[in-house]
Amino acid sequence: MKFADYIKDYKNKINKAIQSIYDKKLDTTKNSFLKDYYSEMKDYFLTGGKRIRPLLCLATYYAFSENRDEIIITPSVGTEFLHNASLIHDDIIDKDNFRRGKPAFHFRFRNYHDKYNLKKSLASDFGNSIGIIGGDSAFIIGLEAYFTNDFEKDLNLNAIKYYEQAFIEIIHGVLIETDMVNHKEIAMDDYIEMISLKTGALIEKSILIGANYAKVDDKYKKYLSIYGINLGIIFQIIDDILGTFGDEKVTGKPTDGDIREGKRTCLLIEALNKSIPKNKKRIHELIERPEMSEEEVLEVKDLFLEADAISSCKELANGYFEEVKTALENLEPVINSSESEFYEDLLNFVYNRKF
Amino acid sequence: MKFADYIKDYKNKINKAIQSIYDKKLDTTKNSFLKDYYSEMKDYFLTGGKRIRPLLCLATYYAFSENRDEIIITPSVGTEFLHNASLIHDDIIDKDNFRRGKPAFHFRFRNYHDKYNLKKSLASDFGNSIGIIGGDSAFIIGLEAYFTNDFEKDLNLNAIKYYEQAFIEIIHGVLIETDMVNHKEIAMDDYIEMISLKTGALIEKSILIGANYAKVDDKYKKYLSIYGINLGIIFQIIDDILGTFGDEKVTGKPTDGDIREGKRTCLLIEALNKSIPKNKKRIHELIERPEMSEEEVLEVKDLFLEADAISSCKELANGYFEEVKTALENLEPVINSSESEFYEDLLNFVYNRKF
Closest CA to B213 of B54, B51, B326, B1: B54
Q: What are phi and psi of B18, to 5 degrees?
A: -65, -45
B262 interaction partners in chain A (CB closer than 8 Å): 120
Q: Quick: pLDDT tens for A136-169.
A: 999 999 999 999 899 999 999 999 999 999 999 9
pLDDT for B118 beyond 80: no
Statement: the pTM of the whole predicted model exceeds 0.90: yes
Q: What is the mean pLDDT of residues A245-261?
A: 89
> What pLDDT is recorded for position B35?
97
pLDDT for B291 beyond 80: yes
Paired residues of A98 in beta bridges? A103
Closest CA to A235 of A324, A337, A108: A324
Q: Is A28 exposed, middle or buried (0-12, 13-18, 19+ CB in 10 A)?
A: exposed
The reply to whether residue B132 touches residue A92, judged by beta carbons under 8 angstroms, is yes
Q: What are phi and psi of A103, to 5 degrees?
A: -60, 140
Q: What is the mean pLDDT of residues B150-175?
A: 97
> What pLDDT is recorded for position B296?
96
> What pLDDT is recorded for position B119?
67
Q: What is the mean pLDDT of residues A326-348?
A: 97
> What pLDDT is recorded for position A22?
97
A218-245 and A201-213 helices, crossing angle to 10°: 150
Interface probe with B: pick from A179, A180, A192, A285, most Cβ of B within 10 Å: A179
Q: Between residues B165 and A124, which one has the greater pLDDT?
A: B165
Of A118, A130, A140, the CB nearest to B182: A118
Say yes or no: ipTM exceeds 0.90: yes
Q: Which residue of A has its CA nearest to B135?
A: A136
B121 interaction partners in chain A (CB closer than 8 Å): 181
B139 interaction partners in chain A (CB closer than 8 Å): 136, 139-140
A165 interaction partners in chain B (CB closer than 8 Å): none
The reply to whether residue A175 touches residue B33, judged by beta carbons under 8 angstroms, is yes
Q: What are phi and psi of A278, to 5 degrees?
A: -60, -45
d(CA A44, CA A143): 18
Q: Which residue of B has its CA nearest to A190?
A: B31
d(CA A15, CA A150): 19
- Mean pLDDT, chain A, integer: 94
Q: Which residue of B has its CA nearest to A118?
A: B182
- Mean pLDDT, chain B, integer: 94
> What pLDDT is recorded for position A254?
87
Q: Which residue of A has its CA nearest to B291?
A: A120
The reply to whether residue A176 touches residue B118, judged by beta carbons under 8 angstroms, is no
The reply to whether residue A136 touches residue B137, judged by beta carbons under 8 angstroms, is no
> What pLDDT is recorded for position A119?
67
> What pLDDT is recorded for position A111?
87
Task: Kindly give, in sequence order, each residue whose CB lies less than 8 Å from that of residue A277, ignoring residues fewer than 6 positions away.
Answer: none
d(CA B270, CA B277): 13
Query: In chain A, what's the furthest Cα-to-Cα distance?
Result: 65
CB–CB contacts below 8 A, A to B = 130
The reply to whether residue B181 touches residue A120, judged by beta carbons under 8 angstroms, is yes
Paired residues of B234 in beta bridges? none
Structural domains of chain A in order of their starting residue, each with its CATH number: 1-157 (1.10.600.10), 217-355 (1.10.600.10)
> What pLDDT is recorded for position A289?
87
Rounded to the nearest angstrom, the gap between the alpha carbon of residue B219 and the centroid of all alpha carbons in its chain is: 27
Q: Quick: pLDDT tens for B50-101.
A: 999 999 999 999 999 988 999 999 999 999 999 999 999 999 998 999 888 8
Q: Which residue of A has its CA nearest to B29?
A: A172
